[in-house]
């Protein structure tokens, strides 16, 4: 029998607020364990939560960017369960009356546009983080440790409808979601730091059937690649199980990056009973329609619109526009540099080639290019483009200069001056070298005169070699043709 995969995704995203959702503790990532806590986020008896207005604003921005309807009234609920990373014994979340519902996200997969519907977006608080079996901070096989710095950090949970049909579609969904949230400025969306966490559930059903199979939930996915690999593995595991006459159980499985497999975490016999009830310490969340509208108006241009605009306004090929809009930082960098140089395609080529290679090699995101501490701000790339355009340096020299400017933060013009890199564009000086090369290469000269264009390339190469790459290649070409 042929099966098809049905995938839905739950994504948790930490909102980029400075303080937690119900108390004033800071949310900075990477602080010493248990240094960003207070009686409220530690769940001491008798404390009361106070909702962070900025968290609500960012959640509304996210919901609007995902084309959802934001409800004028939503309700916080207690989700009761016991786990050491949850000091109150319950999590404050939203249940039957979430912040927003009914959105969608359009993805491009294999040249086709697919729409994935979004069921809901709701606000909740994050839990603490447990360390088991010696994985960090001095935990050991006998002792688990808990860091409560993350307890109470504001989250949104984004739940999709089961609309993805392949691991590639699920990967494209997470990629697009990440981009939309980055553009909307609601989160720094770093999967490796856990500020975006993705839990897909996948089931199989016979092709043509409308019934959903038994879903298996996957956890511990720290990159988009891990999401896709884990789904590929899980679909194969379930297919083999069904083909052998077995049954898929409703369970949660943990992805293990090292072995490339999923392992059973827990079996669910029935849906968990969390005894949800309305949070008595918080009023229903009432949102003013005018406030929601003002947030909608403040939303920046998102990726798809920007991609179209880069093609329309700058005449970029669609491929370039797609690469440059992968992050808002990179697209902003492109536009700022073009404002300084007026040469979109050249700027695009540098960004897609050497600059992205250096970003990948140094493992930093495009966001560092535009900060106050940037070693290679738009002005530096603009300077480099100008140096090539005015003929001071060749394209090859420019690559070296770019690399050094990028790594040291120095200005390309200073580097060129200091290294004496400028190209030789002095006709008299080059003429002498050209004469020497013609005399030393009679065979190539004869071939060229016999009509072999290729031989000219050899002669240009010899001149470049003699001048250690400093000759202006255009001028060398002209001189050689004139003399031959």
Contacts with Zn ion by CB under 5 A lie at 23, 25, 38, 40-41
| CB nearer to Zn ion: pick between 16 and 287 | 16
| CB nearer to Zn ion: pick between 38 and 109 | 38
DSSP 4-68: EEEEEEEEEEE---SB-SSS--B--TTPPTTSS--TTTTT-TT------HHHHHHHHHHHHHTTP
Neighbours of 89 (CB within 10 A): 11
| CA angle centred on 200, ends 74 and 243, rounded to 5° | 140
| CB nearer to Zn ion: pick between 29 and 277 | 29
Beta carbon of residue 79, minimum distance to Zn ion (angstroms, whole number): 19
Beta carbon of residue 258, minimum distance to Zn ion (angstroms, whole number): 36
Beta carbon of residue 365, minimum distance to Zn ion (angstroms, whole number): 29
Tell me if 129 sits within 8 A of 153, measured CB to CB. no
For 427-460, give one letter per residue: b (16+ CB within 10 A) or e: eeebeebbeebbeebeebbebbeeeeeebbebbb
Beta carbon of residue 91, minimum distance to Zn ion (angstroms, whole number): 15
Beta carbon of residue 152, minimum distance to Zn ion (angstroms, whole number): 6
Neighbouring residues of 256: CB distance < 8 A, sequence distance ≥ 6: 220, 262, 263
Beta carbon of residue 11, minimum distance to Zn ion (angstroms, whole number): 25
Beta carbon of residue 38, minimum distance to Zn ion (angstroms, whole number): 3
Q: Using alpha carbons, select from 424, 484, 419, 425 the residue that is nearest to residue 450.
A: 484
| CB nearer to Zn ion: pick between 21 and 382 | 21
Q: Using alpha carbons, select from 299, 382, 282 the residue that is nearest to residue 73.
A: 282
Crossing angle of the two packed helices 442-449 and 454-466, in degrees rounded to 10: 150
| CB nearer to Zn ion: pick between 54 and 114 | 54
| CB nearer to Zn ion: pick between 36 and 179 | 36
Residue 432 to residues 215, 436, 479, Cα–Cα distance (Å): 78, 6, 10
Q: Note every long-range contact of 36-45, with CB atoms under 8 Å and residues 24 or more positions apart, other chains counting.
A: 36/149, 37/148, 37/149, 37/151, 40/152, 41/87, 41/148, 41/151, 41/152, 42/87, 42/148, 42/151, 43/86, 43/87, 43/88, 43/89
Question: Which residue, chain included where needed, has tokens 């590929």?
Answer: 232
| CB nearer to Zn ion: pick between 41 and 402 | 41
Beta carbon of residue 37, minimum distance to Zn ion (angstroms, whole number): 6
Q: Dihedral of CA 241/243/247/249: which sign?
A: positive
Beta carbon of residue 24, minimum distance to Zn ion (angstroms, whole number): 7
Beta pairing class for 100-109 and 69-70: antiparallel
Beta carbon of residue 35, minimum distance to Zn ion (angstroms, whole number): 11
Tokens of 23: 């108390």
Distance CA 193, CA 62 (A): 20
| CB nearer to Zn ion: pick between 32 and 269 | 32
Beta carbon of residue 56, minimum distance to Zn ion (angstroms, whole number): 18
Distance CA 269, CA 67 (A): 35
| CB nearer to Zn ion: pick between 25 and 381 | 25
What does DSSP assign to residue 351?
I
Phi/psi for 440 (5° steps) reads: -85, -10
Distance CA 358, CA 321 (A): 20
| CB nearer to Zn ion: pick between 148 and 406 | 148
| CB nearer to Zn ion: pick between 39 and 246 | 39
| CB nearer to Zn ion: pick between 148 and 255 | 148
Beta carbon of residue 254, minimum distance to Zn ion (angstroms, whole number): 29
List helix spans (H) across 275-411: 289-298, 303-314, 318-324, 328-341, 344-350, 356-362, 378-389, 395-408
């Amino acid at each position: 029998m042929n099966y098809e995969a049905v995938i839905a995704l739950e994504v948790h995203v930490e909102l980029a607020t400075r303080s937690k959702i119900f108390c004033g503790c800071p949310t900075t990532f990477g602080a010493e364990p248990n240094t960003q806590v207070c009686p409220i986020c530690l769940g001491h008896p008798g404390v009361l939560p106070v909702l962070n207005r900025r968290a609500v604003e960012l959640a509304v921005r996210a919901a609007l960017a995902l084309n959802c309807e934001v409800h004028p009234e939503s309700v916080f609920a207690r989700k009761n369960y016991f786990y050491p990373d949850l000091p109150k014994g319950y999590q404050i979340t939203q249940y039957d009356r979430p912040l927003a519902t009914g959105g969608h996200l359009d993805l491009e997969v294999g040249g086709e546009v697919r729409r994935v519907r979004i069921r809901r977006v709701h606000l909740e608080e994050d839990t603490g983080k447990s360390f088991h079996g010696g994985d960090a901070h001095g935990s050991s096989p006998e002792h688990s440790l808990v860091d409560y710095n993350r307890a109470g950090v504001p989250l949104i949970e984004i739940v999709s409808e089961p609309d993805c049909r392949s691991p590639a579609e699920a990967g494209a969904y997470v990629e697009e979601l990440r981009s939309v949230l980055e553009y909307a400025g609601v989160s720094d969306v770093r999967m490796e730091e856990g500020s975006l966490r993705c839990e897909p559930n996948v089931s199989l059903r016979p092709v043509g059937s409308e019934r959903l199979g038994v879903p298996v939930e996957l956890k511990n996915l720290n990159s988009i690649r891990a999401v896709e690999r884990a789904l590929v593995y899980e679909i194969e595991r379930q297919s083999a199980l069904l083909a052998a006459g077995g049954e898929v159980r409703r369970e949660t499985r943990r992805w293990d990056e090292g072995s490339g497999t999923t392992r059973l975490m827990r079996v669910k016999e029935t849906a968990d009973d969390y005894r949800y009830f309305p949070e008595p310490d918080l009023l229903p969340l009432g949102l003013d329609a005018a406030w929601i509208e003002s947030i909608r108006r403040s939303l920046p241009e998102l990726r798809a619109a920007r991609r179209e605009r880069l093609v329309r306004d700058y005449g970029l090929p669609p491929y370039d526009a797609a690469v440059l809009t992968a992050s808002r930082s990179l697209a902003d960098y492109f536009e700022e540099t073009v404002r300084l140089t007026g040469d979109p395609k050249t700027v695009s080529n540098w960004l897609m080639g050497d600059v992205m290679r250096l970003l990948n090699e140094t493992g930093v995101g495009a966001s560092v290019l535009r900060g106050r501490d940037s070693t290679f701000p738009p002005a530096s790339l603009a300077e480099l483009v100008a140096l090539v355009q005015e003929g001071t340096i060749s394209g090859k020299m420019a690559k070296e200069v770019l690399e050094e400017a990028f790594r040291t933060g120095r200005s390309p013009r200073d580097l060129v001056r200091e290294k004496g890199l400028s190209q030789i564009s002095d006709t008299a000086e080059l003429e002498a070298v050209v004469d020497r090369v013609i005399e030393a290469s009679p065979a190539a000269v004869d071939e060229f005169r016999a009509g072999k264009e290729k031989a000219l390339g050899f002669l240009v190469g010899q001149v470049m070699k003699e001048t250690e790459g400093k000759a202006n290649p255009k001028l060398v070409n002209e001189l050689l043709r004139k003399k031959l």
